[in-house]
Chains A and B, each alone.
Chain A
Amino acid sequence: MDNKKSNTLRGLLLGAGFIAVAAFIFTGCPSQQSMFDSGDAAQKVYVAPGEHDEYYGFFSGGYSGQLSVWGLPSARFLKVIPVFSQDPETGYGYSEETKPLLMTSYGFIPWDDSHHPHISQTNGDADGRWIYINANNTPRIARIDLQTFETKEILELPNTGGNHASSFVTSNSEYVIGATRFSIPYEMDLDVPIDSYSEEFRGALSFIALDPETGMMEMDFQILVPPYNYDLGRAGKGPSSDWVFFTTYNTEEAHTLLEVNASRNDKDYVAAVNWKRAAELVRNGAGETMSAEYYHNYYEGNQGIAINDVKDQVTVLTPQDGQNFIYFLPTPKSPHGVDIDPTGEYIVAGGKLATVIPVHSFSRMIEAIENQRFEGHVENIPILDYDATIIGEVENPGLGPLHTEFDGRGYAYTSVYISSEIVKWSLETFEVVDRIDAYYSIGHLMITGGDTKNPDARYLVGLTKTAKDRYLPTGPKQNHPAQLYDISGDRMQLLLDFPTIGEPHYAQAIRADIVTPNVKQIYEMEDNDHPYALRRVADNRVERDGDVVRIYMSSTRSHFRPDNIEGIRVGDTVYIHLTNLEQEWDVVHGIAVKGANNSEILVAPGQTKSIKWEPTRTGIYPFYCTAFCSALHQEMQGYIRVSAADSDVPLTWSTGGN
């Protein structure tokens, strides 16, 4: 008995000992490990004051409608580039020059939802010349010039609902693509019952040709497709560079309660489009011209007032039997992203309700097309046999895989929304090799130099949807976070967690040395082709034409010319055309007028900007420089006298008593 007891006691003590050791191993060591890691992480993201980051990060603004620019790896915030939303800070969308950029066939729209920035490419690598970004709500694509970091052009997409699968460029920037997320009747302004969805509604895939010199967009053609939701897209690379790919969901063709009704099918499709073949068909007259109304807004010269070029027709290609330019690849289940690896061979879909990550092979797809391994057709579009195109299914990827990017070393990184993590998996074995938490609920991810033939793959940024407890709390609505990971080693390592602006969906990062040599410091005055520019200080003046008064004003440190103006009358429409005559980097002037129902304008060196002001009351109106430009900035002001509508105060202007 005694012996037995002491054996039991010995066993108990041994067990307790094991637990103690285990507790030490599993709690003690990891905390030391993380202390070591965080010191290491701080060094990896430290960029000394005055030093520059290695990468530019361009983060979409989501519901802000803009594009924010960051330095990586420090996560220094550099700038917000206004794109689809008015920006009173700069006067974008308020100045006469920029208001036309926000015009659409529905009139002036002050806001949109920007999703997927994509940098122009040459030979499959980002060339840093322009960045394109889509507007989801009122379908548009914008072009931002990376010499000035300004929006230069916006093109509306006709007969499209929700331009979400956009704005991805092909590997030599031949095309930028767009597509319908919410299918609608293709015919312009068609008024039909919503439950005629399957008969009357259609999707449109847009192919926008890019000018190789200027980056300017032109709607080349649209492909009419079944009424699904076209979610995301990517262009092929290398062997697949003649192709673009779109994901679809809602192949159920539901038009109500989609969360249930569009989640019934086990598989939806990836649409593979041979754009080169489609363009050839269009060149050979296979397309049909349909009426449409859409705006193309751009500047004709270096600067000046953006123009609205209103288009009234579009070329439409409806797939016919034997045209061989579009195929459906069955893909589980309600896939979100479709991403092509750097070799152009693997087509990875993020089936957000799927239990695996399906990987199609491009070469097997071509083989399947040649051997006509079709399991059916929808509206003349062949559906390929799933087993004929699939090359692997990544098991155990977590819940809700969305987007994948690649490191060019044989690994893929997929964001997984529901289980809030990033999984790294091998393109050889299709097995998960590493996983790391995201804070919280990750949407897109991006790799530095990503979605190109040659990713740099130093860092990965995860763009997450909720911050919860990650930062100091800022009320019920908080900004969206992003996390920076080091992916240069075998294991992913979290380096930084920082709040962003708006709701970044996709982002791209490019090596800074590709961009910086072309960044302008000033607008050359001698190239200023603005119709209301003031080329010489001596030309400052005020002109009246009926009720329209134009003030040609100059700014230099620290005064406006003219700065005393009389003879404006209630009921006049006054335009202040301010030319910043400075030719020095970052010497910016601005102007604001008391009571003007408008924003200020900021004017870069060598630029001319205009604000419209319609005074409704008599009196003296001070105006002043809104940018702290110089030592005597506070003195940089003036007065405008507004008299009654029937007054005969003569129109005069002066500066300094001259």
Chain B
Amino acid sequence: MEIKSRIVMTLAALMLIGLYYQPFWTIDMSAPQYPEGIGMYIHINDVTGHNRHDLQSINTLNHYIGMAEIHKEDFWEFEVMPWIFGFLIAFGLIAAAVGNIKLVITWLALMVVLGILGFVDFYMWGYEYGHNLSPDAPIKVPGMSYQPPMLGCKQLLNINACSWPYIGSIYLGLSVMLAGGVIWIEKFSKKQNT
């Protein structure tokens, strides 16, 4: 691998550090009573409100339709994800240091597989969260479930919920693009040149 590729790969690995500081996903909710908006951010190790007490308000509202409360402690993912990304950063740095393009390809493949697994996990959580409703719920709407959208917007009773990637995902995307670029240069464009 060229020195330039190594630097780019180092950058790709270091990009992931951003995920420790910025949420990578947001769920925005709007309703007539919430002109100021309400919502939550998903970090690799936490779930927080858009505003300081939004999570408390979301839990309060959701109990009417029997949804479980959201508490950070209930997510094993928040324990695991920081380690996974730690591992990926280390792996990526090693790949850059060693300069082995196969390691880079493996790294990128790992990222893609973990990304898909992440989406599957997010979907399963969302399904559970939206369907597993308390039988004691004061408000029951026949046939209604409250699974939040994976991507995009969905009207759930009075609330329009939108699910979008957030700043952390930009780091993630840049990281994937940089690694992809390294592979492209090393494997394809180089061959044409030589």
On A, residues with C-beta under 8 Å from B are 522, 556-558, 582-585, 631-632, 635
Contact = CB atoms under 8 A, between A and B. Distances in A.
14 contacts: A522-B53, A557-B60, A557-B64, A558-B138, A582-B57, A582-B60, A583-B52, A583-B56, A583-B57, A584-B53, A584-B57, A584-B60, A585-B36, A631-B139
B66 to A, nearest CB: 13
Contacts of B61: 557
Contacts of B56: 583-584
Nearest to B54: A584
B60 A556 contact: yes
Nearest to A586: B33
A583 B60 CA distance: 10
A554 to B, nearest CB: 12
Q: Which of B52, B57, B138, B139 has the most CB of A within 10 A?
A: B57
Contacts of B52: 583
B53 A583 contact: yes
For the residues of A in contact with B, the DSSP-based class is: loop
A631 B57 contact: no
Nearest to B53: A583
Contacts of B139: 631
Interface in B37-90: 52-53, 56-57, 60-61, 64
Nearest to B63: A557
Contacts of A522: 53
Contacts of B36: 585
Contacts of A632: 64, 138
Nearest to B57: A584
A522 B61 CA distance: 18
A479 B93 CA distance: 77
A395 to B, nearest CB: 55
A540 to B, nearest CB: 16
A638 B57 CA distance: 23
Given A558-B138, A584-B57, 8 more contacts: A557-B61, A557-B64, A582-B57, A583-B56, A583-B57, A585-B36, A632-B138, A635-B138
Contacts of A584: 53, 56-57, 60
Interface in B1-16: none
Nearest to B60: A557
Nearest to A50: B35
Contact of B64 (A582, A583, A585, A631): A631
Q: Which of B52, B53, B61, B139 has the most CB of A within 10 A?
A: B53
A134 to B, nearest CB: 37
Interface in B116-151: 138-139
Nearest to A656: B136
B40 to A, nearest CB: 14
B61 to A, nearest CB: 8
B150 to A, nearest CB: 27
Nearest to A583: B53
Interface in B133-179: 138-139
Nearest to B61: A557
A231 B52 CA distance: 49
A633 to B, nearest CB: 12
A632 B138 CA distance: 8
A17 B7 CA distance: 100
A584 B64 CA distance: 17
A444 B64 CA distance: 52
A557 B56 CA distance: 11
Contacts of A556: 60
A156 to B, nearest CB: 39
A267 to B, nearest CB: 59
Contacts of A635: 138
B48 to A, nearest CB: 14
A583 B139 CA distance: 23
B193 to A, nearest CB: 59
B157 to A, nearest CB: 11
Q: Which of B52, B56, B60, B138 has the most CB of A within 10 A?
A: B60
Contacts of B138: 558, 631-632, 635
A232 B61 CA distance: 53
A261 B53 CA distance: 65
Contacts of A583: 52-53, 56-57
A509 B39 CA distance: 36
Nearest to B158: A631
A557 B61 CA distance: 8
Contacts of B60: 556-557, 582, 584
Contacts of A631: 64, 138-139
A556 B64 CA distance: 12
B135 to A, nearest CB: 14
Contacts of A557: 60-61, 64
A614 to B, nearest CB: 34
A635 B138 CA distance: 10
B136 to A, nearest CB: 9
A656 to B, nearest CB: 9
Nearest to A635: B138
B38 to A, nearest CB: 8
B141 to A, nearest CB: 13
B166 to A, nearest CB: 23
A582 B56 CA distance: 8
Nearest to A557: B60
Nearest to B139: A631
A522 B54 CA distance: 12
Contacts of B57: 582-584
A411 to B, nearest CB: 41
A528 to B, nearest CB: 13
A556 B62 CA distance: 13
A441 B52 CA distance: 51
Nearest to A632: B138
A584 B36 CA distance: 11
Leading 6 A-B pairs by shortest Cβ distance: A583-B53, A584-B57, A583-B56, A557-B60, A632-B138, A556-B60
A238 B138 CA distance: 64
B82 to A, nearest CB: 26
A583 B57 CA distance: 7
A632 B61 CA distance: 11
A585 B57 CA distance: 10
A583 B52 CA distance: 9
A631 B52 CA distance: 24
B72 to A, nearest CB: 17
A556 B36 CA distance: 21
